[in-house]
């Protein structure tokens, strides 16, 4: 870990070396400072170029060192800001050669240089907000001075990463090159020796403010509050930019530091940084047979097929095409094919437009083509097939049997089921080892999560191929084991049930949603159910004989097999209320397919009548209790999933929830949240709930939770070791 120097003519090239992303650890900063001071004093050096080793400028401050830092002492000792200051004040021109990435502190360092040259494929951004922080090394003061308040506000408060061609257009970098950015930077450095530098120092630039800057900042806070419910860092970023607007540079830097420190040790920052590393750790899957992400070799997918062009199939086809994969989309009848192809084409057109706007018409790789067909034989050359028909085991088995005979040997067969048995589907094929579950989330071309469901026979090749594909699709893949509903939906079920029980007990959909949305969820359980479609769960409950014609005569209305059951969602579906798709569900919508949920007097009246008919007494439940009543059973199910070896660690569950279920990232995920509030609290409340509701089995505390509390609630990173091999199926 160091900053290395070599001399090219009269130019000193300083290379940041700290693999894999040249993070600016405290040691790297000390080393950078020493080398910078050394070359500024060296009379033979006339200009300086700063770059990163292995084609990466820098991924920013070393996040791993944050938890080991005592901000009171360490910050006084030295900080990246001091390094930036030395670079900026240098009387010799300093040119940043940005290759790969310049993120967070990496970009802040580049902003302190007098010139910035970027490779055309480089990407830059101030991503700290996503780690629950703000740019703390001058980024909030320099970027608005360089590119103006509105553009800087957008980048800093969203953590957006922009490609070099956009960065040059915005004015973040001076020019881009398709050749070596370092060579170009050396060339520029030689050219500008002796030229005045004052106008190149961003700290000296006056800030250009739009006349309405105050309302711009205030409006941004309101918008961010809605978009990132309960998250502090986005709000504090705006305040740091306000300091840039109102204060001279030096005072702005002091304010930025003060605001940075207010976030640095917060629970939210810890949660976001945990979420960052959790995502990296789940990519490192392993199986009981010893196969893992390192040993298995993924196959490249050039041609993929999608079977079924409903909402999921459309999104999957778009997702593949966006990753430059050639797609064959198959439907069973002309009408469905036409409907599906129109939808896919329309989404692809929108996505192309977005891409062009984002990349500012810089030449970029085009999307893969999508061929629409009714002919199953067109699949014979596909490298991978994703079946995305509706949830019906018999239909899926029929399709997989056909795929077995049509697809080339070695083709991977995936099913986009959201909970059916992968092994049963694989059993009808000639290649169970090449069958796997790929559970996408709707809309599949936008949602980040891919639950990769390993069947009993799934080979390490198919696991690694699909995990690799998830990266290619810009998604986060998480390997889980095969069980009914897999991980995400298995945890969702008790959460939704608990929410519905609250309606029986006297609460309204609006009250329950409000509590969960204030907690930080993008949508409360009822708004979310309306979006997903109430009919999906209804059909599966009918299939299982819990409601509808298969229900045994004489079954009590509010119980099934001795367990509490609420028929409320079934009754809504019987009334044709399927959610947004029918214009009414738990809420009413302006039109069929409308998005704006409004209170529906029909629902309120219906709930009132239902309670009266069943003589249910209203219970007084506080907002805090609503939260615990809904979340703790979800967390409890998470512990049961770990106990059963369905997920290999708490991080896997958290990554699934953060990326697929709208869990607020600044709360880390359900398992991290449990560790933050304390396992004893979760256990005590579950015990109390279960005692009062013995007919709700999901309230019965899991053995793992009890065992962890008994052991004094070890930190989350130690839970995995408690699981032990015999239980772990992954
Ligand atoms: C960089 C990426 C885009 C690379 O993506 P890719 O897909 O290629 O690879 P991975 O994501 O799998 O990453 C590979 C590997 O690298 C690890 N890693 C990545 N980034 C960092 C990092 N910044 N620090 C440490 N480790 C990192 C990653 O974990 C993988 O390793 P693993 O073993 O897990 O496989 C992508 O990785 C990415 O987006 N990275 C994050 C970029 C980012 O958000 N950077 C901002 C960091 S925060 C920051 O820069 C703050 C600044 O404003 C400086 C503030 C200074 C304030 C002073 C007071 C602070 C108190 C004192 C603290 C001491 C530190 C200091 O002063 O600097």
Average pLDDT over residues 56-79: 78
Is the pLDDT at 528 greater than 70? The verdict is yes
**Structure token digits, residue 531:** 């979006």
Prediction ipTM score = 0.95
Q: How far is the CA of 23 from the centre of ligand 1 (A)?
A: 6
Ligand 1 atom with minimal separation from the 281 CA: 34
DSSP annotation of 289 reads T
Q: How far is the CA of 72 from the centre of ligand 1 (A)?
A: 22
Among 20, 21, 468, 475, name the best residue to mutate to test ligand 1's pocket (greatest count of ligand atoms within 8 A of Cβ).
21
**Structure token digits, residue 63:** 């996040």
What element of type H or E holds 2? strand 2-8
- Which residue's CA is the nearest one to ligand 1's atom 32? 280
- Which residue's CA is the nearest one to ligand 1's atom 2? 59
Is the pLDDT at 726 greater than 60? The verdict is no
Q: What are the two backbone dihedrals, phi and then psi, of residue 102, each rounded to the nearest 5 degrees?
A: -130, 100
For residue 539, the model assigns a pLDDT of: 87
- Condensed to tens digits (0 to 9), the pLDDT of residues 10-61 reads 999 999 999 999 999 999 999 999 999 999 999 999 999 999 999 999 999 9
Is the pLDDT at 68 greater than 90? The verdict is no
What's the mean per-residue pLDDT of the chain? 94
Query: CA–CA distance from 492 to each of 160, 218, 486, 728 (Å)?
Result: 30, 36, 10, 22
Ligand 1 atom with minimal separation from the 60 CA: 50
- The reported pTM is 0.95
Which pLDDT band, with edges at 50, 70 and 90, does 536 fall under? Answer: confident
**Structure token digits, residue 223:** 């918008």
Average pLDDT over residues 623-646: 97
Taking the CA atoms of 701, 702, 704 and 707 in sequence, report the sign of the dihedral they define.
positive
Ligand 1 atom with minimal separation from the 29 CA: 68
Ligand 1 atom with minimal separation from the 74 CA: 62
DSSP annotation of 119 reads E
Q: What are the two backbone dihedrals, phi and then psi, of residue 113, each rounded to the nearest 5 degrees?
A: -80, 165
Residue tagged active-site, from 88, 99, 128, 451? 128
Is the pLDDT at 220 greater than 80? The verdict is yes
- Which residue's CA is the nearest one to ligand 1's atom 33? 280
Among 16, 55, 61, 294, name the best residue to mutate to test ligand 1's pocket (greatest count of ligand atoms within 8 A of Cβ).
61
For residue 498, the model assigns a pLDDT of: 98
Is the pLDDT at 499 greater than 50? The verdict is yes
- Which residue's CA is the nearest one to ligand 1's atom 64? 26
Strand partners, 327: 304, 370
Average pLDDT over residues 67-72: 68
More confident residue, 521 or 555: 521
Is the pLDDT at 725 greater than 60? The verdict is no
| CA distance linking residue 542 with residue 536, whole number of Å | 10
Residue 256 bears catalytic tag: no
Helices (H), 228-266: 232-246, 249-264
Average pLDDT over residues 470-474: 97
Residue 706 half-sphere exposure, CB side, CA atoms within 13 Å? 8
Residue tagged active-site, from 53, 88, 99, 108? 108
Ligand 1 atom with minimal separation from the 79 CA: 67
Taking the CA atoms of 575, 577, 578 and 581 in sequence, report the sign of the dihedral they define.
positive
More confident residue, 301 or 560: 301
Ligand 1 atom with minimal separation from the 130 CA: 44
Is the pLDDT at 432 greater than 50? The verdict is yes
Whose structure tokens read 């553009």? 151
Is the pLDDT at 386 greater than 70? The verdict is yes
Is the pLDDT at 63 greater than 50? The verdict is yes
Which pLDDT band, with edges at 50, 70 and 90, does 4 fall under? Answer: confident
Among 32, 63, 74, 272, name the best residue to mutate to test ligand 1's pocket (greatest count of ligand atoms within 8 A of Cβ).
63
Q: Residues lining ligand 1, judged by CB closer than 6 Å?
A: 20-21, 23-24, 26, 29, 59-66, 69, 71, 74-75, 79-80, 101, 103-105, 108, 127-128, 131, 133, 135-137, 139, 260, 277, 280
Average pLDDT over residues 179-187: 98
Q: How far is the CA of 62 from the centre of ligand 1 (A)?
A: 5
- Percentage of the chain exceeding pLDDT 70: 96
Average pLDDT over residues 403-424: 96
For residue 721, the model assigns a pLDDT of: 81
Residue 624 half-sphere exposure, CB side, CA atoms within 13 Å? 2
- Condensed to tens digits (0 to 9), the pLDDT of residues 114-136 reads 999 999 999 999 999 999 999 99
Which pLDDT band, with edges at 50, 70 and 90, does 708 fall under? Answer: very high
- Which residue's CA is the nearest one to ligand 1's atom 67? 79
| CA distance linking residue 196 with residue 206, whole number of Å | 17
For residue 361, the model assigns a pLDDT of: 45
Among 16, 19, 20, 124, name the best residue to mutate to test ligand 1's pocket (greatest count of ligand atoms within 8 A of Cβ).
20
Q: How far is the CA of 107 from the centre of ligand 1 (A)?
A: 12
Average pLDDT over residues 170-182: 98
| CA distance linking residue 100 with residue 94, whole number of Å | 19
Whose structure tokens read 């059993």? 427
Average pLDDT over residues 57-81: 79
387-391, 401-405, 719-723: least confident range: 719-723
Which pLDDT band, with edges at 50, 70 and 90, does 71 fall under? Answer: low
Helices (H), 645-712: 650-660, 670-677, 679-692, 703-710
- Which residue's CA is the nearest one to ligand 1's atom 20? 59
| CA distance linking residue 22 with residue 724, whole number of Å | 36
Is the pLDDT at 78 greater than 80? The verdict is no
- Condensed to tens digits (0 to 9), the pLDDT of residues 436-468 reads 999 999 899 999 999 999 999 999 999 999 999
Ligand 1 atom with minimal separation from the 135 CA: 53
Q: How far is the CA of 418 from the centre of ligand 1 (A)?
A: 34
Residue 128 bears catalytic tag: yes
């Amino acid at each position: 870990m160091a900053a290395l120097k070599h001399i090219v003519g009269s130019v000193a090239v300083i290379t940041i070396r700290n693999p894999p992303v040249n993070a600016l650890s405290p040691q790297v900063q000390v080393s950078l400072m020493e080398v910078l001071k050394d070359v500024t004093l060296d009379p033979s050096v006339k200009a300086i170029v700063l770059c990163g080793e292995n084609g990466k400028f820098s991924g920013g401050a070393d996040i791993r060192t944050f938890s080991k830092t005592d901000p009171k002492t360490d910050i006084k000792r030295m900080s990246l800001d001091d390094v930036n200051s030395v670079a900026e004040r240098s009387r010799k021109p300093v040119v940043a050669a940005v290759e790969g990435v310049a993120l967070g502190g990496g970009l802040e360092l580049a902003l302190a240089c007098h010139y910035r040259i970027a490779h055309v494929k480089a990407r830059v951004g101030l991503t700290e907000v996503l780690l629950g922080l703000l740019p703390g090394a001058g980024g909030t003061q320099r970027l608005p001075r360089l590119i103006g308040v509105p553009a800087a506000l957008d980048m800093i408060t969203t953590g957006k990463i922009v490609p070099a061609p956009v960065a040059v257009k915005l004015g973040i970098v001076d020019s881009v090159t398709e050749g070596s950015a370092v060579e170009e930077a050396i060339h520029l450095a030689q050219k500008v020796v002796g030229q005045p530098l004052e106008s190149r120092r961003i700290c000296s630039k006056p800030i250009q403010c739009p006349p309405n800057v105050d309302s711009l900042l205030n409006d941004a806070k309101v918008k961010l509050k809605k978009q990132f419910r309960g998250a502090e860092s986005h709000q504090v970023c705006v305040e740091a930019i306000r300091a840039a607007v109102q204060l001279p540079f030096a005072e702005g830097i002091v304010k930025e530091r003060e605001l940075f420190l207010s976030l640095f040790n917060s629970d939210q920052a810890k949660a976001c940084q945990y979420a960052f590393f959790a995502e990296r750790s789940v990519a490192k899957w392993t199986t009981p047979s010893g196969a893992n992400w390192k040993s298995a070799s993924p196959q490249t997918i050039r041609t993929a097929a999608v079977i079924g062009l409903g909402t999921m199939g459309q999104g999957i086809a778009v997702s593949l095409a966006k990753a430059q994969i050639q797609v064959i989309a198959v439907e069973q009848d002309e009408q469905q094919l036409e409907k599906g192809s129109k939808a896919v084409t329309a989404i692809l057109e929108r996505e192309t437009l977005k891409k062009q706007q984002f990349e500012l018409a810089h030449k970029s790789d085009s999307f893969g083509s999508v061929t629409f067909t009714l002919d199953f034989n067109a699949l014979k050359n596909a490298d991978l097939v994703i079946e995305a028909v509706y949830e019906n085991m018999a239909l899926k088995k029929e399709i997989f049997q056909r795929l077995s005979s049509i697809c080339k040997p070695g083709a991977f067969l995936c099913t986009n089921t959201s909970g059916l048995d992968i092994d049963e589907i694989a059993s009808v094929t000639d290649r169970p080892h090449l069958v796997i579950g790929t559970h996408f989330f709707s809309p599949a071309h936008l949602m980040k999560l891919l639950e990769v469901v390993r069947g009993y026979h799934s080979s390490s090749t198919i696991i690694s191929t699909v995990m690799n594909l998830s990266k290619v699709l810009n998604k986060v893949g998480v390997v889980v084991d095969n069980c009914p509903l897999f991980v995400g939906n298995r945890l969702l079920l008790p959460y939704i049930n608990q929410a519905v029980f609250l309606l029986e007990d006297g609460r309204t959909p609006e009250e329950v949603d409000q509590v969960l949305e204030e907690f930080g969820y993008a949508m409360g359980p009822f708004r979310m159910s309306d979006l997903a479609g109430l009919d999906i769960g209804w059909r599966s409950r009918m299939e299982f004989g819990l409601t509808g014609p298969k229900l045994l005569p004489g079954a009590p209305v509010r119980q099934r097999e001795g367990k509490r059951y609420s028929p409320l969602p079934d009754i809504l579906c019987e009334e044709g209320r399927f959610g947004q798709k029918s214009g009414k569900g738990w809420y009413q919508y302006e039109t069929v397919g409308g998005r704006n949920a409004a209170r529906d007097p029909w629902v309120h009246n219906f709930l009132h009548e239902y309670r009266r008919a069943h003589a249910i007494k209203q219970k007084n439940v506080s907002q805090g209790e609503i939260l615990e009543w809904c979340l703790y059973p979800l967390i409890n199910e998470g512990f049961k999933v770990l106990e059963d070896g369905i997920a290999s660690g708490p991080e896997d569950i958290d990554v699934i929830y953060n990326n697929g279920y709208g869990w607020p990232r600044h709360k880390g995920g359900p398992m991290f949240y449990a560790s933050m509030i304390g396992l004893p609290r979760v256990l005590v409340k579950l015990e109390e709930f279960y005692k009062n509701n013995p007919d709700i089995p999901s309230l019965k505390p899991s053995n793992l939770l009890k065992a962890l509390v008994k052991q004094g609630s070890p930190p989350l990173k130690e839970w995995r070791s408690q699981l032990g091999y015999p239980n772990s199926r992954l």
